Amino acid sequence: MSRTILSHDNLHPTIKDKVAGFHHATIAELRDAVAQHRIVVVGMRYNDAVWKARKVLTKAGLDFHYLEYGSYTSQWRRRLALKMWSGWPTFPMVFVDQALIGGASDLIALLNAGQITLQKK
């Protein structure tokens, strides 16, 4: 099932560039990281779920790339752009083999099921 989003055709011409360019560099940074690294964790400071995801990956011996965007009081617009782009509403965002797998609890479930291992399947 695809997520329904507002069509670009339904945007007023005066805001199309603003919508398309909203923190474009942040999205490009994440896309590049996902293309270059097998596992990417996107997070923010002081978030327990982000800390948990990083700890679980480290304990499992899995290398990962970490991108951090502010804290609860900073860089929220950059995080909003990532949420709008991905459709995932919370942090962390965990990518494995270029696919968004969800957050910390989703990561733990996949690790426990043996679906994420040291070697790419």
Q: What is the pLDDT of residue 120?
A: 54
Residue ranges of the chain with per-residue pLDDT less than 70 = 119-121
pLDDT given at position 1: 83
Residues 57-66, buried b or exposed e (16+ Cβ, 10 A)? beeeebebeb
Which is it for strands 93-96 and 99-102: parallel, antiparallel or unpaired? Answer: antiparallel
Cα–Cα distance, 59 to 116 (Å, whole number): 13
Q: Would you state the pLDDT for residue 119?
A: 66
Report whether CATH 3.40.630.30 matches the domain 15-112. Answer: no
The predicted pLDDT at position 121 comes to 46
The pLDDT score that the predictor gives to residue 63 is 97
Q: 99 - beta bridge partners?
A: 96
